[in-house]
Amino acid sequence: MSNTWNARSGRRAGATSVTAMSTTQTYHIAVIPGDGIGKEIIPVAQAALDKAAEGAAHFEYESFDLGAERYLRDGAILPDEDLERIKRTDAILLGAIGDPRIKAGILERGLLLKLRFALDQYVNLRPSKLYKGVTSPLADPGDIDFVVVREGTEGLYCGAGGAIRRDTPAEVATEVSLNTAYGVERVVRYAFELAMKRRKHVTLVHKKNVLVNAGDMWQRIVDRVGEEYPEVSHDYQHIDAATIFLVSDPSRFDVILTDNLFGDILTDEAGAVVGGVGYSASGCINASNEYPSMFEPIHGSAPDIAGKGIANPTAAILSTAMLLRHLGFEEPAVRIERAVEADIEELGSTQRSTQQVGQDILARL
């Protein structure tokens, strides 16, 4: 069987196995369990992915030893060889990155953000849904089902800026927000396309009353692209107001479109509103398919509960549904989502181990 790679499309050529009934394509998945509970939840997520895709797709996993342990052991964060190998895969499944022993920023910038930038994952897709059986901290949450489309490669995350006279009273530190018409337009288009498949409403969230340069450009691009989608309505909220509506009237949102930093903050709030980030999955999508996209739970490495076998793998399992959908397997993706929904409704409030939750969800697949 040929093992050649098509680096452009991220697709492997000739890796098709023919069974009696169907043709099953093989996909090569980079697995980065990472730190803390990432190592515990990722194997459970892989099991769910395999089971849901049975007969439709076959997954070959390549595990990457990246994260805090590796860094503490040999100082490596994301070696070039690893990045090159990751680039040739079809998708990435990531657990969590972060460790209190390591200074803030080293792994975040050197590993997680480096992947998002190097693989041009310009759409950071973060759905929020209040599942039946989950208690929202809101007294009257209503039906919550929205998706945040967070720009993933620009804004304040670019790393543009610097410091001079460090550690002196005259220190100067700058972080510059970079916004390009190219980068904004492609994510705006993604949001409108997504809205077409949903309830057809886009809310741009920014701070255009203060960030008059970037905010105005975002708004003009939304207005212009929006004309191509007459069925999709769009409105605008300032970020500060959006944080209020997210708790006072979250069911008003369908697709929230925003920049990198606003999206980061808003999706944590969204996670809390739907009962905790334990149920929130995300995708860092390279929608042009030039590079692999990356799927990860929104929660972090949770060092306080790591190693105890009690971390909830639900968000990681939901991330595999997003991975499947991205690769074109809608039906297995829906199957995972239904299994998770049923599991939460029936057993969501019980205390279960990581393994048990995994088994319960797998049994429904």
**Binding interface with Mn ion (CB under 5 A):** 264
**Longest distance between any two alpha carbons in the chain, whole Å:** 73
Task: Work out whether 108 is an interface residue with ligand IPM (CB under 6 A).
Answer: yes
Nearer to Mn ion, 284 or 362 (CB): 284
Quick one: 98 or 358, whose CB is closer to ligand IPM? Answer: 98
Catalytic residue among 207, 208, 236, 259: 207
CB under 5 to 8 A by kind: which of Mn ion, ligand IPM, none does 69 bind? none
Annotation marks residue 99 as catalytic: no
**Residue 274 three-state SS:** coil
Among 15, 112, 221, 321, binds ligand IPM (CB under 6 A): 112
Minimum CB–partner distance for residue 5 and ligand IPM (Å)? 28
Q: Among 122, 131, 157, 190, which one carries the catalytic annotation? A: 157
Single out the residue of 102, 113, 144, 327 in contact with ligand IPM (rule: CB under 6 A): 113
- Which of 50, 145, 268, 360 is catalytic? The answer is 268
CB atoms within 10 A of CB 61: 16
Indicate if 240 belongs to the active site. yes
Catalytic-residue membership of 264: yes
Distance separating alpha carbons of residues 153 and 84, to the nearest angstrom = 19
Window contacting ligand IPM (CB under 6 A); options: 37-45, 108-116, 130-138, 183-191 = 108-116
Q: Are 194 and 285 in contact (CB under 8 A)?
A: no
Neighbours of 78 (CB within 10 A): 21
Confirm whether 167 is a catalytic residue: no
Nearer to ligand IPM by Cβ, of 40 and 264: the residue is 264
Question: CB-wise, 259 or 264, nearer to Mn ion?
Answer: 264
Binding-residue total with ligand IPM (CB under 6 A): 4
The residue whose Cβ lies closest to ligand IPM is 108
Q: How far apart are CA 316 and CA 338, in angstroms?
A: 15
Distance between CA atoms of residues 341 and 110, nearest Å: 35
Separation CA 124–CA 151 (nearest Å):
6
Candidates 44-52, 107-115, 203-211, 248-256 — which segment interacts with ligand IPM by CB under 6 A? 107-115
- Quickly tell me which residue has 């980079």 as its tokens: 30
Please name the residue that has the structure tokens 């050649």. 4
3-state DSSP assignment of residue 297? strand
Q: Compute the distance between CA of residue 361 and CA of residue 317 in angstroms, rounded to an integer.
A: 9
Active site (annotated) includes residue 268: yes
Residue whose entry in the numeric block shows the structure tokens 């730190």: 35
Region of 106-114, 133-141, 233-241, 341-349 interacting with ligand IPM (CB under 6 A): 106-114
CB of 300 to Mn ion, least distance (A): 8
Between strands 255-258 and 293-297, the pairing is unpaired
Half-sphere exposure of 125 (CA within 13 A, CB side): 24
Catalytic residues: 157, 207, 240, 264, 268
Q: Which residues bind ligand IPM (CB under 6 A)?
A: 108, 112-113, 264
